[in-house]
Chain A
Amino acid sequence: MTASGAERGRGWRGLLPIIGAFGLGVLLLALFLALAGFDVTAALVALWRGAFGSWSAIASATLVRAVPLILLGLGFTLGVRAGALNIGMEGQFALGAITATAVGVHANGMSPLIAIPMVLAAGAIAGAAWVLLPVVMRLRLGVTEVITTLLLNFLADAAVSYAVLGPLQEPLHIYPQSAGIAAAARLPRLLPGERLHLGLPIVLGVALLLALLLSRTRWGFRLRAVGANPVAARISGGIAASGVFASALLWSGALAGLGGAIEVSGVSFALYPNLSPGYGFTAIAVALLGRLQPLGVVIAGLLFGALEAGAGAMQRDAGIPAVAVQVVEAVAILTLVVLARRERSSS
Chain B
Amino acid sequence: MTLLALREISKRFGATQALDRVNFDVAVGEVHALLGENGAGKSTLMHIAYGLLRADQGTVQAGATATSGFASPRAARAAGLGMVHQHFTSIPALSVGENIALAAGWRETGARAERRAAEAIARLALPLDPAVLVTSLSVQLRQRLEIVMALAANARILLLDEPSAVLAPPEVRELLRTVRGFANAGGAVVLITHKLDEVFAAADRVTVLRRGVVTRTGPMANETADSLARAMLGNELPRAPRQRSTPGDVVVQARELRLGDAPPATFAVRSGEIVGIAAVDGNGQRALLRAVAGVNSDGIAGGALDVNSPVAFIPEDRTLEGLIADFSLTENVLLGLQDDATRWLDWAARRERTTALMAEFDVRAPSADVAAATLSGGNQQKLILARALARAPRVLVAEDPTRGLDIRATQAIHERLRAAAAQGVAVLMHSSDLDEVLELADRVFVMTNGSVREMPQHASRDAVGDAMVGRTGT
Selected interface stretch from A107-115, A203-211, A235-243, A258-266 = A235-243
Q: Mark A200-232, 1 if CB is under 8 A from B, else 0.
A: 000000000000000011110110110011011
Give the docked Cα–Cα distance between A235 and B328 (Å): 18
Contacts of A275 in B (CB 8 A): none
| Residues of chain A contacted by B326 (CB below 8 angstroms) | 6, 228-229
* In the complex, A3 has a CB within 8 A of chain B: yes
Contact A5 B336, CB 8 Å, known A217-B344, A236-B315:
no
Contacts of B331 in A (CB 8 A): 4-7, 221, 225
Residues B341 and A5 in contact, CB atoms below 8 Å apart = no
Contact of A8 with B320 in the complex, beta carbons under 8 Å: no
CA of A217 to CA of B334 in the docked complex: distance in angstroms?
Answer: 12
Q: Is the CB of A236 within 8 A of B370?
A: no
Please give me the residue from chain B that is nearest to A219 by CB atom: B343
Whether A232 contacts B344 in the complex (CB less than 8 A), given A5-B329, A221-B331, A225-B335, comes out as no
Which A residues are CB-close (under 8 A) to B313? 235-236
- Interface majority SS (helix, strand, loop, mixed), chain A: helix
Check if A228 sits within 8 Å of B335, measured CB to CB.
no
Closest approach, in angstroms, between the C-beta of A208 and any C-beta of chain B? 15
Q: How far does the Cβ of A218 sit from chain B's closest Cβ, in whole Å?
A: 5
Kindly list chain A residues whose C-beta atoms are within 8 Å of the C-beta of B334.
221
Query: Smallest CB–CB gap between A146 and chain B, Å?
Result: 22
Bitwise interface map of B from 344 to 382 toward A, beta carbon under 8 Å scored 1, else 0: 111110110000000000000001111101100000000
Which residues from chain B contact A232 at a C-beta distance below 8 Å? Answer: 320-324, 335
What residues of chain B lie closer than 8 Å to A238, measured between beta carbons? 336, 339
Chain A-chain B contacts (Cβ-Cβ < 8 Å), number: 103
Q: Which of A161-195 contact B (CB under 8 A)?
A: none
**Is B390 interfacial (CB-CB < 8 Å)?**
no
Residues from 96 to 134 in A contacting B, C-beta threshold 8 Å: none
- The yes or no answer to B432 lying at the interface (CB within 8 A) is no
- Find the A residue at minimum CB distance from B348: A2
A142 proximal to B (CB < 8 A): no
Contact with B along A1-21 (1 / 0, CB 8 A): 111111111000000000000
The reply to whether the CB of A318 lies closer than 8 angstroms to some CB of chain B is no
A229, B324: Cβ atoms closer than 8 Å: yes
| In the bound complex, CA of A232 to CA of B329 (Å) | 14
> Considering the complex, which residues of chain B in the window 270-322 have a beta carbon less than 8 Å from any beta carbon of chain A?
295, 313, 315, 320-322
Q: List, in ascending order, chain A residues with CB within 8 A of B323's CB.
A: 229, 232, 236
- From residue A232, how far is it (CB to closest CB) to chain B in Å? 5
- Contact (Cβ within 8 A) A235 B324: no
* Closest residue on chain B to residue A6 by CB atoms: B328
User: Is the pair A218, B321 in contact by a Cβ cutoff of 8 Å?
Assistant: no
Within the complex, the shortest CB–CB distance from A308 to chain B, in Å, comes to 32
Annotate B375-408 by CB proximity to A: 1 below 8 A, 0 otherwise: 0000000001001000000000000000000000
Report yes or no: A217 in contact with B343, Cβ–Cβ below 8 A. yes
| Interface presence of B327 (CB below 8 A) | yes
Interface flag for A347 (CB, 8 Å):
yes
Is the Cβ of B369 less than 8 Å from the Cβ of A9? yes
- B136 interfacial by beta-carbon distance below 8 Å: no
What residues of B have a CB within 8 angstroms of the CB of A218 in the complex? 338-339, 341-345
Min C-beta distance of B324 to chain A, whole Å: 4
User: In the complex, are the beta carbons of B368 and A5 less than 8 A apart?
Assistant: yes
Taken together as a complex, chains A and B put the C-alpha atoms of A217 and B343 apart, in Å, by: 6
In the assembled complex, B325 has its CB within 8 A of some CB on chain A = yes
Q: How far is the CA of A238 from the CA of B374 in the complex (A)?
A: 24
CB contact between B367 and one of A5, A221, A225, A236 (< 8 Å): that residue:
A5
Contacts known (A218-B343, A218-B345); A4 close to B338, Cβ less than 8 A = no
Is the beta-carbon distance between A347 and B347 smaller than 8 angstroms?
no
A residues near B374, Cβ cutoff 8 Å:
347
Q: Is B330 on the interface with A (CB-CB < 8 A)?
A: yes
By a CB distance below 8 angstroms, the chain A residues around B338 are 218, 221-222, 225, 237, 239
Leading 4 A-B pairs by shortest Cβ distance: A5-B369, A5-B328, A6-B328, A237-B335
Beyond known contacts A2-B348, A235-B321, A235-B322: 10 more, CB 8 A cutoff: A4-B351, A4-B369, A5-B328, A6-B326, A7-B328, A217-B345, A225-B335, A232-B320, A232-B322, A237-B336
B interface, CB within 8 angstroms of A: 295, 313, 315, 320-331, 334-336, 338-339, 341-348, 350-351, 367-371, 373-374, 384, 387
A residues in contact (CB < 8 Å) with B: 1-9, 216-219, 221-222, 224-225, 228-229, 231-239, 347
Q: List 13 A-B contacts (CB under 8 A).
A: A1-B348, A5-B331, A5-B351, A5-B370, A5-B371, A216-B344, A221-B338, A225-B327, A228-B326, A229-B320, A235-B295, A236-B336, A239-B338
